[in-house]
């Protein structure tokens, strides 16, 4: 007897970190504090219009934090798809470190900053989110979108921390491992979901930014 194995269609995601903010430039930890784009960030979002023009998407989702939402509204204006808010795509909550520069965090909250730098997986920054909890939130959200949009192409506007989780999940890196990959503002990052597994397609494509800025 021949056994026919059922496979699910490939779902492709384009994930985009928001454009630059003044706090990015100052290396201030934003977390879930709601900061909007600066002029450079707005220009990066405009450049995304050109970077996305040859792609079609069945759906688009964005973190509801202003820096991601503003990027989404600018970048998607010619795509013919409405961007839906997705709070599950928010940046990680960094607890007591939110609002601090790295120097300020090191001075004011030395223990929290030590855990931050060592990527302690179960440390929550005193009422923030641990890496384990954050990573689970992100991947549950993406699994839900993959199930909802099987065989389609989906656009996601989100944050650096979310991209960090996704890259690690798609490449088998642990959350504790030091980062050795970029999280560029307004770059295109492509992954695929197929038969319950995630695969990295391409990462940190900035060609549209280099041509436009």
Q: DSSP string of 199-213?
A: EEEEEEE-HHHHHH-
- Catalytic annotation, pick one of 20, 42, 55, 91: 91
Neighbours of 64 (CB within 10 A): 16
91 is catalytic: yes
Beta strand pairing status for 197-205 and 188-194?
antiparallel
- Catalytic annotation, pick one of 18, 93, 116, 169: 18
Farthest-apart Cα atoms in the chain, separation: 69
93 is catalytic: no
Helix (H, G, I), strand (E, B) or coil at 12: strand
Cross-strand partners of 61: 84, 156
- How crowded is the C-beta side of 178, counted as CA atoms within 13 Å? 3
Instruction: Give the residue numbers annotated as catalytic, written as ranges.
Output: 18, 91
């Amino acid at each position: 007897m021949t056994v026919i194995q059922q496979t699910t269609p490939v779902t492709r995601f384009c994930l985009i970190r928001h454009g630059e903010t003044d706090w990015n430039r100052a290396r201030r930890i934003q977390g879930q504090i709601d900061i909007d784009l600066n002029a450079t960030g707005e220009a990066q979002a405009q450049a995304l219009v050109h970077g996305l023009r040859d792609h079609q998407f069945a759906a688009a989702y964005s973190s509801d934090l202003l820096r991601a939402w503003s990027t989404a509204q600018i970048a998607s204006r010619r795509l013919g798809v409405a961007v839906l808010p997705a709070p599950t795509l928010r940046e990680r909550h960094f607890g007591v470190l939110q609002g601090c520069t790295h120097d300020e965090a090191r001075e004011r909250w030395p223990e929290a900053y030590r855990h931050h730098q060592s990527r302690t997986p179960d440390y929550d920054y005193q009422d923030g989110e641990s890496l384990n909890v954050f990573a689970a939130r992100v991947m549950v959200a993406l699994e839900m979108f993959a199930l909802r949009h099987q065989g389609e192409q989906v656009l996601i506007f989100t944050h650096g921390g979310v991209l960090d989780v996704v890259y690690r999940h798609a490449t088998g890196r642990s959350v504790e491992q030091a980062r050795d990959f970029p999280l560029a503002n307004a770059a295109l990052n492509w992954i695929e979901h197929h038969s319950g597994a995630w695969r990295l397609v391409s990462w940190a494509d900035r060609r549209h930014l280099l041509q436009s800025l």
